[in-house]
Structure 1
Amino acid sequence: MPYIERRGHSIRVKWWAGEYLPNGSKKYESASGPQPGVRFEDEDEAYDFGLDREYDVRNGVHVRQRDGNTLMKVYLWDWYADQELRATSMRRYKSMLNARIEPYWGDHTVGGITAFEYQAWSRHLNALVADSLMSASYARDLRRLFTTIMSDSVEPYRLRKFSPVVTKARRGMYVKKTKPRKRPLEMETLHQLASNAYTVWGYTGWVYIWHSAFTGCRPGENWGLQRQFTSPTWPASDPEAERQAESLERYRGKRPMHAIRVQHQHQCIHGKQQLTDPKYESHRTLVVPPFLHEMYTVLLASHDSRWTFPSMLGRSLLSTKFEKDYWYPIRDGADERPEHRGHAGRAAIPGVPEMAGRRIYSLRHGHKEWLDEDGHCEIAVESRMGHEVAGVKGLYGNLTPAMELRIAGSLQRRWEKFWRSNGSLWRPPFPTPLPVDHREALNTQLTRAPRRTHR
């Protein structure tokens, strides 16, 4: 049972904390008020407070005072060290902890943070967003990370009883959230992007744009795509014997199909370039339409890099400032650049208004729109995008060769329809002499135009 002590004008209550000291005697905790800075008004209030603490001890939900008094600057990094996430997530979490969370919360105790203090911090983030000092997405990510950290302080770390992050019921007049306007991905837009990419990056850029839109691969997966996993050589070149045998049977059997293997993404981890698993370990095989297979054939014949899409200098794209030196000129256009000190000149590049402000990742979104537009089933679409379908549908669903063949067919028809209607549009010349067995087939896809015109 708790007992009361009077010290001058203050009242203190002691209770057994459920632990024993090294000498075998019980270890007690005490408090002079229901919360820091507030004193008990009378002995009955103090006694009831002690009874509540002993109830928590008996029911296994007691938070030791020394745990609740842990400083956030200590807990944050103990929490971080206990996480097992991908390198990119760990790097982003570390950045947010250093930049925003520890400077604000570091001197608070874990158990002392109140819901009112959290709401004040949330309003502080809103003010930064309103003043254009922080992006709305970054503020959202900060709240999500802090919510996770404080939830973990309750379980499994047992540093406090409840999280201070509370969801307030909506009150007042309804205000609809504004969402960025989405435009469907049109083939004409892609052609202009691909034409710009050819000016910036040569034939590799031309193929990269069509590949991004017609496979839906993530940028890191494109950067990590190697020639041994690209359709002219794969699956015969697959280094894993069992997967090679299964893939040869599936994609070179009764109904031959061209496909690439999404086996890696290319990332920088601790300052070193490394091939890692795709996001969410979404290893997958993507059947590609014939025209794209033919482009890969031409592209791989034009260079000897291990990467399907090498940089302008023949290195990995991870070693470049991709957005600044590749994507922005392709999307926004650039002025003419004359030859200077041995550096090649470049023609003026027109901007693509439909893509203003958009990331190259939006080509992946456009691919999903096409698949939905063409009526492919959810299992086929989500499997191709590298997503898992939840529930019974995902458990029983299976991507079949017939589904893959229909996807490749619909993508090929989209390509052919565009060129039948726009046959006079510019197409790039071959970058190198083609292998004899591919020259005639590719001649229908890529022809030299007498002059280059932009839409």
Structure 2
Amino acid sequence: MAWVEKHGRTWRVRYWREDGPAGSVPGFQSEPEAREHAATLQDHRTPQPTAPAVRADAPLTPAFIAPAEEEPAGVGFADWLETWWDTIDVGDNTLASYRSLTKNHLLPRWGSIPLTGITPSQVQVWVKELHTTHRPSTVSAIRKLLALILADAVEEGLLTTNPVRKRNRGRTRSHDPAQEKIWADEHEVRAIASRVLQLASPNQALLVITAAYTGMRWGELAGLRRENCHLSGGQPRLVIHPQSGALHEINGHLTYGPPKTPASARTITLPAFLAELLANELNRHRHAHVFTSIDGKHLRRSCFGRRTWAPAVNGTNLSDGTVWKPLKPGLTFHGLRHSHKTWMIEDGLPDVVQARRLGHRMGRDIDDIYSHVASALNDKLLSALTARWNRSVSATAA
């Protein structure tokens, strides 16, 4: 039988393996979760048959010669994982993602298997099966995590090679046509914001406009506070703080923390029209955060996406009988960030401007070069954004 026990801050499932020693499946956040998994495991410890009695003077025959001892199976995947968690240093969001993928995919398949028992062909068959039930991006994330865990096992000397290998034979997915990321032009952004205004509030409509015209991520926008908005005197700008510039939502809990990467801590200059809209919004309410739910609380991505974003872009039927046709099916909120990058490409802005704007890392030499022409390029960027805004306003008024 399998049993559960507390292990540090989490719970783990213990069970008897076929080779004798007890195995372990760690990483469960609660005892009920551990017990649920324990119920799926079989007890492989079975009684061994008793050999018949043999007289001391009886000759040995092949039937009574003890079989050679098998070599030990080595460290199990679950046992290595238990150690591996203590070796990684990643952000809270990444850690939560790793634990979810591990619990739902890696442990059910590999938890009871020794590291040395994982073969490339087994991994390939498993990944192929995952593609039949999961999105390509999910399968890629699962495969990459398994590769990372086993690569560290190689460095630890527990494996000689990593069984998660790149395959260049057969019908590889690299031959599939690349899927273009969905983005919106300035007119579509304004139309989406107009629908969000009807579904939610002027505040959340401005959230959509700010996302499209700055390229900020959801967490950076949801965590944006008054003190990080410099909207008057000189160049209007928003500041993404390196230690608290993003609002993270992990397992339902909201906390402040660093943005996605060190390069994401940045200053974002604003066109005059957007600075004015933000200033008016901050004068309208007294909340600490710029963008909030209708009742003034923290924004939650899942709630906004389900109640507001999805019907705005995919279409819906309103209670008054109005039918909204799909406006930009499949566009995600993160797609507004892709839109901002596409706009910069269309407007002929160099890669270094795009990287600095979006918080992507570039070489120090490139940053030094950019510093000499930053003012001129920034003016070009803001002028292009203002022109887009004016076009969208004119089209709406026409």
Alignment of 1:220-231 (within 5 A): 220-231=219-230
Partner of 1:118: 123
Q: Matched residue of 2:256: which SS?
A: strand
Q: What per-residue deviation string (whole Å, max 9, x for no partner) do you get for residues 415-448 of structure 1?
A: 2233344434xxxxxxxxxxxxxxxxxxxxxxxx
Structure 2 match to 1:280: 261
The answer to whether the 8 Å contact 2:190/2:392 transfers is: no
Gaps of 5+ in 2: 1-59, 63-67
**How far is the alpha carbon of 1:134 from its aligned partner?**
1.8
1:315–1:402 CA distance, 2 compared to 1 (3 A): same
User: Structure 2 counterpart of 1:202, which letter?
Assistant: S
The letter of the residue matching 2:265 is H
Q: Shift of the alpha carbon at 1:184?
A: 5.3
Aligned mates of 1:324, 1:203 — CA distance in 2: 18
Query: Given the alignment, which residue of 260, 265, 268 partners 2:249?
Result: 268
Are 1:423 and 2:397 an aligned pair? Answer: yes
Quote the Cα distance in structure 2 between the aligned partners of 1:292 and 1:371: 17
Matches within 5 A, 1:371-382: 371-382=344-355
Query: What secondary structure is seen at the aligned counterpart in 1 of 2:105?
Result: helix
Match of 1:406 in 2: 380
Partners of 2:182 and 2:331 within 8 A in 1: no
Secondary structure in 1 aligned to 2:166? Answer: coil
> CA separation in 2, counterparts of 1:232 and 1:270?
34
Indicate the residue corresponding to 2:144 in structure 1: 144
In the TM superposition, residue 333 of structure 1 has moved relative to its aligned partner by 3.3
Summarize deviations over 1:157-199 as a string: whole Å, max 9, x none: 1111111122233347998313334555222211210110110
Pair 1:108–1:356, CA change in 2 (3 A): same
Aligned counterparts of 2:173 and 2:282: Cα–Cα separation in 1? 56
Per-residue CA shift, 1:201-220, capped at 9, x if unaligned?
Answer: 22112211111110000111
Please name the residue that 2:339 is paired with: 366
- RMSD, aligned α-carbons: 2.8
Q: Compute the TM-score of the two structures, normalised by the length of structure 2.
A: 0.75
Counterpart residue number, 2:185: 186
Conservation of the 8 A alpha-carbon contact between 1:300 and 1:308 = yes
Residues 231 and 296, structure 1, Cα contact 8 Å, conserved in 2: no
Shift of 1:349: 6.4
| SS of residue paired to 2:300 | helix
Summarize the Cα distance change of 1:89–1:165 in structure 2 as closer, same or farther, 3 Å threshold: same
In structure 1, what is the Cα distance between the partners aligned to 2:98 and 2:173?
33
| Aligned counterpart, 2:199 | 200
Query: Structure 1 residues 173 and 101, CA, compared in 2 at 3 Å: closer, same or farther?
Result: closer
Distance 1:408 1:367 in 2: 12
Distance 2:61 2:208 in 1: 79
Q: Normalized against structure 1, the TM-score is what?
A: 0.66
User: Any residues of structure 2 matched to 1:18-417 within 5 Å, and which?
Assistant: 69-126=74-131, 129=132, 133-155=133-155, 157-171=156-170, 176-182=175-181, 185-232=184-231, 252=233, 256-263=234-241, 264-269=245-250, 272-281=253-262, 282-318=264-300, 321-337=303-319, 348=322, 350-353=324-327, 355-390=328-363, 392-393=365-366, 396-398=369-371, 400-417=374-391
- The Cα offsets for residues 224-279 of structure 1, whole Å up to 9 and x where unpaired, read as 1112212336xxxxxxxxxxxxxxxxxx5xxx321111221101346532111111
Corresponding position of 2:5: none
Aligned-residue sequence identity (percent) comes to 22
TM-superposed deviation, 1:314: 0.6
CA distance in 2, matches of 1:258, 1:162: 54
Structure 1 residues without counterparts, runs of 5 or longer: 1-6, 10-31, 37-64, 234-251, 339-346, 425-455
* Alignment CA distance shift 1:182-1:117 (3 Å): closer
How many residues align structurally?
329
* Structure 2 counterpart of 1:260, one-letter code: L
Contact conserved, 2:183 with 2:336, CA < 8 A, in 1? no
Change beyond 3 A, Cα 1:82–1:114: same
Per the TM alignment, residue 371 of structure 1 is displaced from its structure 2 partner at its CA by: 0.8
Give the Cα separation in 2 of the matches to 1:386 and 1:288: 15
Offset of 1:311 from its aligned partner? 0.6
Change (3 A) 1:174 1:333: closer
